Amino acid sequence: MFLHHLNPSIKAITILLLVTLLALVFDPFTPFLFMICTIALTFIGGDINGKRYCLYFLPFSIIAFGMLWTTIAFADTPTHPQEEITLLGLTIPEESFVTALALSLRVLSVAALSLLFVFTTNIVDFILSLIQQLKLPPKIAYGVLAGYRFLPMMKDELLIIRTAHRVRGFDQAKTFRGKLDQYKKFSIPLLASAIRKAERTAMAMESKGFTGEKKRTFYRSFSVSFRDWAFLGLMVIALLFIASISWYLGYFRWYSGEL
């Protein structure tokens, strides 16, 4: 499960670099092969729950299908309109279909890369790595980390406020508009509680010597090793290798202004 032990910052840089390169590829074959490789790597190199992964991947599949359909429906006039294919009983220009398929598979490929990062990276480790390796100011980093930690507490706080309303005799709304009005009433005490918690957290951090200076010691230190750079290099080489196979088979297309 080596993906969990890679430096989070280098892993994030690798993902961003690959997404940038994929954005310049405009054929369906390259992103499809790279998506398959990324998913296989995620399951081989990480401790992943298959059912949970599929649930997270499903929304991206819906978005990709929507992009496929809208790109075909609103495509520009093709260069070779006589080249057509039949899909689900509909005759559409082949050029428009290939462009739409390339965009959709690119979305799925980027989704697979994003899930590789999300499922194999601890958010606290990522923030600490951003401070230590990429020199992110501690004031911003710990602010983001505190906000992330507050999310589960906000859920518990909302449950307490809702229970308090029930105790006072306010029934739970059943219509959509009623629920919307009810959440508006919940928002004020929820916001007041969040501000109180934020003030207490800030006071606690200051009382323990937090000044926001970059020169500080860390209980958990992160470093960049040869393994991290090897991961970055191998992923880029894998994409270039897949692109070369695509080029050899005659599928590869580089971005040349298509939309």
pLDDT in tens, 122-160: 888 888 888 888 888 888 888 888 878 777 788 888 888
Distance CA 74, CA 68 (A): 10
pLDDT in tens, 108-126: 999 999 999 999 988 888 8
How much is the pTM? 0.77
What band does 196 get if pLDDT is binned at 50, 70 and 90?
Answer: confident
Per the model's pLDDT, the better-predicted residue between 24 and 178 turns out to be 24
pLDDT in tens, 29-67: 888 999 999 999 999 888 888 899 899 989 999 998 888
Q: Residue 211 belongs to what H/E stretch?
A: none
Count Cβ atoms below 10 Å from residue 165 Cβ, excluding itself. 16
Domain boundaries of the chain, sorted by first residue: 2-126+222-249, 138-208
Nearest to 110 by CA among 34, 47, 48, 217: 34
